[in-house]
Amino acid sequence: MKKLKGSEIFSDAAAYQELEARKSLFGMQLIFTAILCAVAAGVGVVEYFFPKFFDYPYFSWSVNSGDVFAFWPMYVWGIALTALISSRSSSSFDGKLLALGTLTSVMAGVWEEVAFRCFYICYAMVVVLVFNWLFSTGLGIFLTVLFAGGAVACLLAAGSPLVKVVGAGILGFLAWLAWGLTMDFDPLYWFYDTILIPIAYYATFKQAEPVLYGGYPALFVYGAFLANMWFRDGHKYQGLLGWVNSWYLGMVLLYAMLTYGLLTAIVVHALYDILIHVTIYVRRKFTR
């Protein structure tokens, strides 16, 4: 029986911990996939009552290999980045890690794309719509009632009639101003159009133009953008680099979904993750 060196024992112990972590990840993916059923039910409710709200014609069930390999720069990026930052040495668990990594990659491709490039877009659209209403009409009603009530209270208060009239006039003017400004202004839409979308446009070196300015309904773009931010935040555990990288990958996958269909985005995502695990496996075999 071969006697393991100290470094090999340490490597096996670390690899075993990683294997257990991947098993836990796979379990969580199964749970998230089951939760998607409830998420889908919520989207179904929205579709039932508001059939034109979430127009999603991207359920294409055909995948073209040429479309999948059109994203080869993303695959090369993933391989190069992984080869650069992956440093753990080989262990006796490498084969199991590769197999489980491939399985979790397929699961990630399925549930993350169905979630973040489909169902969560609908939820994000609802979030944007509601918060835009709260900061426009809702806030306008609140401020109008507040200032109007203050004007009435000012008139009913004791004191100089002139002071009461002037005070009530100022508060009444503020009530009118609050009503007029907030009723005709969509602050959250403005924030997306004026700040977030242009920042994303230049942050992607204008490559995201087909997504951001491709003629899609504005609320759909806002929802897709917000859903991708949720996708990015779901990878915080990967550190700053993984957090930023996930946002860019999400934009690419969003383009894949809009251009070729959801199933193509699923395959592209899964293939990207699989190549990362293959790279880790090969990298470890060259690290002793």
pLDDT at 274: 95
Which residue's structure tokens are 């087909």?
210
CA distance 288 to 274: 23
Determine, yes or no, domain membership for 205. Answer: yes
Determine, yes or no, domain membership for 37. Answer: yes
pLDDT at 18: 80
133 vs 173, residue with greater confidence:
133
284 vs 70, residue with greater confidence:
70
Determine, yes or no, domain membership for 179. Answer: no
Determine, yes or no, domain membership for 261. Answer: yes
Where is average pLDDT lowest: 68-82, 94-108, 247-261? 94-108
pLDDT at 26: 85
pLDDT at 88: 67
119 vs 86, residue with greater confidence:
119
Which residue's structure tokens are 């403005």?
190
For 45-71, what is the mean pLDDT?
Answer: 92
How many residues would you count in the chain? 288
In contact, 126 and 225? CB cutoff 8 Å: no
4 vs 217, residue with greater confidence:
217
- Hey, what are 147's tokens? 């200032």
Residue 15 pLDDT class (50, 70, 90 cuts) = confident
For 137-151, what is the mean pLDDT?
Answer: 79
Q: Model confidence over 102-122: pLDDT tens digits? A: 999 999 999 999 999 999 999
What's the alpha-carbon Rg for the chain, to the nearest Å? 26
In contact, 83 and 283? CB cutoff 8 Å: yes
pLDDT at 94: 82
117 vs 88, residue with greater confidence:
117
For 33-48, what is the mean pLDDT?
Answer: 92
- What count of other Cβ atoms lies within 10 Å of the Cβ of residue 269? 27
CA distance 286 to 288: 6
Determine, yes or no, domain membership for 143. Answer: no
pLDDT at 6: 45
For 44-52, what is the mean pLDDT?
Answer: 93
Q: What are the backbone angles phi and psi of residue 52, rounded to the nearest 5°?
A: -95, 0
Those residues with Cβ within 8 angstroms of residue 101's Cβ, 6 or more apart along the chain or in another chain: 22, 273, 274, 276, 277, 280, 281
Residue type (1 letter), 61: W
- Give CA separation, 113 vs 149, 152, 252, in Å: 50, 55, 12
Determine, yes or no, domain membership for 127. Answer: no
Domain count along the chain: 1
Q: What are the backbone angles phi and psi of residue 50, rounded to the nearest 5°?
A: -135, 75
pLDDT at 7: 47
In contact, 217 and 55? CB cutoff 8 Å: yes
For 147-176, what is the mean pLDDT?
Answer: 78
Give the mean pLDDT of the chain: 87
Going by C-alpha positions, the residue among 222, 228, 220, 213 that lies closest to residue 191 is: 222
Determine, yes or no, domain membership for 170. Answer: no
Determine, yes or no, domain membership for 105. Answer: yes
CA distance 241 to 249: 12
Supply the range of the domain harboring residue 54.
Answer: 6-117+191-285
Query: Could you give the angle at the alpha carbon of 104 between the alpha carbons of 98 and 109, nearest 5°?
Result: 125
In contact, 232 and 243? CB cutoff 8 Å: yes
95 vs 286, residue with greater confidence:
95
Residue 284 pLDDT class (50, 70, 90 cuts) = confident
Query: Could you give the angle at the alpha carbon of 229 between the alpha carbons of 55 and 109, nearest 5°?
Result: 70
User: How much is the pTM?
Assistant: 0.85
pLDDT at 249: 97
Terminal CA-CA length for the chain = 20
